[in-house]
């Protein structure tokens, strides 16, 4: 496609609601990744949940990325606008509630049920509300783009998601240094409240007719269908290892940077993955366009494993920068082709159903990553910090091997098309 064709599509291929939805998504991701950047560190060092900070943080992303399957029912039943406003409303209250846990004057409130119970409740409610965002924004992108502009539309969406992922930690850093770490959560709450108002004022409801409405019964049927497909669900379980090691950017790296490297501005390191994805996704897509998705998955795993090995080899900030950027290269390499590979597992006429479960590895990986991060930190941080990263690299190597074995086992039943 020529540059002129792309300009034409940009002018005529999208409705105004497309641009409004993507702008909302940019700032929502900024708020999400800003809070995500500091959450584990905040819970450990400000709230006092030192031994299980990453575990509780892991539950947050687990819910965010596992419930969109169910959340699509609410979009079908109540519409995009109401569901989106509900999401931002819950986010605003939830982020604010989490921020309260770190403020002295709120102690009488949090002590009623105990700080730990209060934080867990606030995080779970926030995450359940936040799970509504994915089906709303992705559905809006799909419905406000012409067939010709849809690929470009999703590219714009994915770029803005990563832009928010890169800017969020940087904004969080400035707020933490100027006001205090608890105010990063307050910033996310204020941003969400503003997005609630903007959705009410500017977002135009989208017609959602002409399609089969999803129900909780249909979701349950889809779950049974998916979990009966062993080759599909086993691949998702294996690929969750990639996300298990990815989430350590937010669950383990802040502690390593501050306690071992004495580098207090850890948020800058967290932003590097998203920055690498923005810069490298298009070049890697062009470079590997003729590779089969299976080989791209393998390369992504290898790069991700190598990234943490690099971090462990030399205990310096420079090698963390190299390692995290390298992990961003792994992310940029495999993510665009992951969905192509996942779709190859789906029986004909059931691709949509199976693709709805593609976020499960992200959720499963987050759940396991929290527990692993706390164990690594408490076991090795003060004695042998490099071992933490070697273990992560080893897990990545195991994931690589399992993908190879999985493909060999199902080579005749999985379409590994180019």
The CATH number given to whatever domain includes residue 338 is 1.20.1250.20
Lowest mean pLDDT among 83-92, 237-246, 406-415: 406-415
**Residues 297 and 187 both lie in one domain:** no
If asked whether residues 184 and 249 sit together in one domain, one would say no
pLDDT, residue 75, reads 80
pTM as predicted? 0.91
Is residue 214 situated within a structural domain? no
DSSP secondary structure code for residue 146 in this structure: -
Same domain, 295 and 377: yes
Could you tell me if 262 and 183 lie in one domain?
A: no
How many other CB atoms are found less than 10 A from the CB of residue 15?
15
Find all residues with CB under 8 Å of 96, minimum gap 6, and list them.
Answer: 185, 186, 189
Domain that holds residue 358: 228-418
pLDDT at 212: 59
Total structural domains within the chain: 2
DSSP 331: H
216 in a structural domain = no
| pLDDT at position 418 over 60 | no
Q: Report whether pLDDT(417) > 50.
A: no
Is residue 158 domain-shared with residue 255, that is, in the same domain?
Answer: no
Tell whether 125 and 265 lie within a shared domain.
no
236 inside domain: yes
**What is the C-alpha separation between 42 and 175, in angstroms, rounded?**
13
Q: Is residue 212 part of a domain?
A: no
Same structural domain, 180 and 298: no
CB atoms within 10 A of CB 164: 21
Closest among 5, 8, 48, 34 to 268, alpha carbons compared: 34
Judged against a pLDDT cut of 50, whether residue 335 lies above it is answered with yes
Position 349 confidence tier, pLDDT thresholds 50, 70, 90: low
Average pLDDT over residues 291-297: 87
Considering only 28-37, 100-109, 131-140, 232-241, which range has the smallest mean pLDDT?
Answer: 131-140
Question: 219 in a domain, yes or no?
Answer: no
pLDDT at 5: 58
**Who has greater pLDDT, 245 or 353?**
245
Residues 339 and 373 in one domain: yes
> What percentage of the chain reaches a pLDDT higher than 70?
92
One domain, residues 289 and 337: yes
For position 385, what pLDDT does the model report? Answer: 97
Instruction: Tell me whether residue 296 is in a domain.
Output: yes
């Amino acid at each position: 496609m020529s540059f002129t064709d792309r300009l034409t599509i940009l002018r005529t291929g999208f409705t105004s609601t497309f641009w409004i939805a993507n702008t909302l998504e940019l700032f929502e991701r900024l708020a999400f990744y800003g809070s995500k950047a500091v959450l584990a560190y905040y819970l450990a060092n400000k709230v006092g949940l030192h031994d299980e900070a990453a575990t509780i943080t892991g539950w947050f992303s687990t819910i965010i990325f596992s419930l969109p399957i169910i959340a699509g029912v609410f979009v079908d039943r109540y519409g995009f606008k109401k569901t989106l406003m509900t999401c931002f409303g819950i986010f605003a209250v939830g982020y604010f509630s989490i921020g309260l846990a770190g403020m002295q004057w709120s102690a009488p409130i949090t002590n009623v049920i105990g700080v730990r119970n209060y934080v867990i409740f606030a995080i779970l409610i926030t995450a359940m509300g936040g799970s509504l965002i994915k089906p709303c924004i992705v559905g809006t992108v799909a419905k406000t783009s012409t067939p010709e502009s849809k690929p470009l539309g999703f590219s714009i969406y994915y770029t803005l998601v990563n832009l928010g992922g890169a800017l969020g930690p940087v904004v969080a850093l400035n707020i933490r240094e100027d006001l205090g770490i608890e105010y990063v959560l307050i910033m996310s709450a204020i941003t969400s409240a503003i997005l609630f108002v903007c959705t009410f004022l500017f977002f135009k409801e989208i017609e959602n007719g002409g399609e089969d409405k999803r129900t909780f019964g249909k979701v349950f049927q889809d779950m049974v269908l998916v979990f009966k497909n062993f080759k599909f669900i086993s691949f998702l379980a294996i690929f969750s290892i990639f996300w298990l090691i990815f989430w350590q950017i937010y669950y383990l790296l802040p502690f390593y940077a501050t306690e071992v490297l004495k580098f207090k501005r850890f948020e800058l390191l967290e932003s590097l993955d998203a920055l690498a994805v923005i810069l490298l996704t298009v070049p890697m897509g062009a470079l590997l366009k003729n590779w089969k998705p299976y080989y791209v998955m393998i390369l992504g795993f290898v790069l991700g494993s190598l990234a943490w090995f690099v971090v462990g080899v030399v205990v310096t900030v420079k090698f963390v920068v190299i390692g995290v950027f390298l992990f961003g290269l792994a992310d940029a390499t495999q993510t665009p082709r992951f969905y192509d590979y996942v779709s190859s597992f789906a029986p004909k006429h059931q691709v949509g159903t199976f693709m709805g479960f593609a976020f499960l590895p992200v959720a499963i990986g987050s759940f396991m990553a929290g527990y692993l991060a706390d164990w690594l930190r408490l076991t090795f941080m003060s004695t042998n910090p490099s071992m933490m990263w070697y273990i992560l690299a080893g897990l990545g190597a195991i994931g690589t091997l399992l993908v190879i074995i999985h493909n060999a086992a199902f080579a005749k039943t999985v379409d590994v098309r180019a």
